[in-house]
Amino acid sequence: MTDAVAHDCELDASGLNCPLPLLKAKMELNKLPSGAILKVIATDAGSQRDFRTFAKLAGHTLLREEDEAGVYRYWLKKA
């Protein structure tokens, strides 16, 4: 486990099922200024599809994603 990308805020959504990881990430992003980077940790496999789609639709940038033994990490840069 590495912090591949520097981030401004971290959200641990481990143990939460769809759609909670994405909803919590959206709420956290709303608090951050444009250009800030949010790191999200999730254990829901469906979060991969959710975060990719959300980033595209909302205009955010998915800088990186990792999958390590069922733990998913995402770095989102707020639009």
Q: What's the helix, strand, coil split of the chain in %, to 5? A: 30, 35, 35
Residues of the chain with pLDDT under 70: 1-3
Is residue 2 exposed (0-12), middle (13-18) or buried (19+ Cβ within 10 Å)?
Answer: exposed
Which candidate in 16, 18, 20, 41 is catalytic? Answer: 18
Q: Which residues pair with 40 in a beta bridge?
A: 11, 74
Per the structure, the complete domain to which residue 69 belongs is given by 9-78
Rounded to two decimals, what is the model's pTM? 0.93
CATH of the domain at 21: 3.30.110.40
Task: Give the list of residues 6+ apart from residue 57 with CB closer than 8 angstroms, or none.
Answer: none
Domains contained in the chain, number: 1
Per-residue pLDDT at 2: 55
Per-residue pLDDT at 4: 74
In-domain check, residue 31: yes
In-domain check, residue 40: yes
Single-letter code of the amino acid located at 25: A
Q: Answer yes or no: 9 catalytic.
A: no
